[in-house]
Amino acid sequence: MSPSRLFANPLYSVRAKRERRKEARPGELLEAALDLFVEKGFAATRSEEVAARAGVSKGTLFLYFPSKEELLKAVVMENLAGRYAEWNREYEEFAGSTPDMLRDCMRTWWERVGATKRSGIAKLMMAEGRNFPELAAFYQREVVRPGHGLVRRILQRGIDRGEFAPMDLDHAIYAVIAPMMFLMLAQHCALACLDDRAPLDPERYLAAQCETVLRGLCTPAGRAAAKATQAAPWRPGADADAPAGPDPAS
């Protein structure tokens, strides 16, 4: 979702377009806010710091966002929540097996979210959501539930096609989400999460986790499909001709 589409939403409407300064660009404000929220945390970041990093005045910032809370919501919408409709459409067109779909899901999540500064949003919300319940509820509604729903959809597809065994979907989705959440935390809390004597290769880690999950999920028919289509080790840009999958993790 582009900034222009985002701000067409009444939630982020502009108070008075004619009052905007030429140097005020919504995308730059959102980028500055994302950087600072991830670096310092939501509570510790001041609105004037965001404005200064974007090169505008605090008053200009407030022409777009009436509060710091609305600014964070816009960051979440621009980077994660506003993209779920597109990601779901991509999987409606996915023609491969469900094991391939799950591999594609985890790989492209890394490329689109995990390996970018967007990955810091989940860490931010886990760290500060309890202190800002209204923002936590917004994040649950706009990111967590759609993300879980997308993973559930993939697993249900595998069951319906006979590739995955029947399962408790309410809890099985966490087998897929947990490795991605761990990798997001590792990106931002490496010293606390990892053994520095054994560096973690993100692509190899996700590939290993995905194959482990598939071994537990697949029926005999699904295992045959998974084995037949198992790709070479994941690397950014690999399988460029394959349908691009969404990034479901919050």
Taking the domains of the chain in order of start, what are their residue ranges? 3-79, 83-229
For position 243, what pLDDT does the model report?
Answer: 39
Interior angle at CA 104, CA 218 and CA 215, nearest 5: 20
3-state class (DSSP) for residue 218: strand
Tokens of 127: 């760290």
Distance CA(138)–CA(28), nearest Å, equals 23
Mean pLDDT by 10 residues, the chain (250 residues): 45 40 73 95 95 92 94 95 84 91 91 90 92 96 94 96 96 95 80 72 92 92 76 43 43
Strands in 161-214 per DSSP E: none
The tens digit of pLDDT for each residue in 147-183 reads 999 999 999 999 999 999 999 999 999 999 999 998 8
pTM of the model: 0.77
| Local structure of residue 11 (DSSP, 8 states) | G
| CATH class of the structural domain 83-229 | mainly alpha
The tens digit of pLDDT for each residue in 50-85 reads 999 999 999 999 999 999 999 999 999 999 988 888
Please tell me the CATH code under which domain 3-79 is placed: 1.10.10.60
3-state class (DSSP) for residue 204: helix
Counting Cβ atoms within 10 Å, is residue 96 exposed (0-12), middle (13-18) or buried (19+)?
A: middle
Return the closest-CA partner of residue 187 out of 119, 107, 113, 92: 119
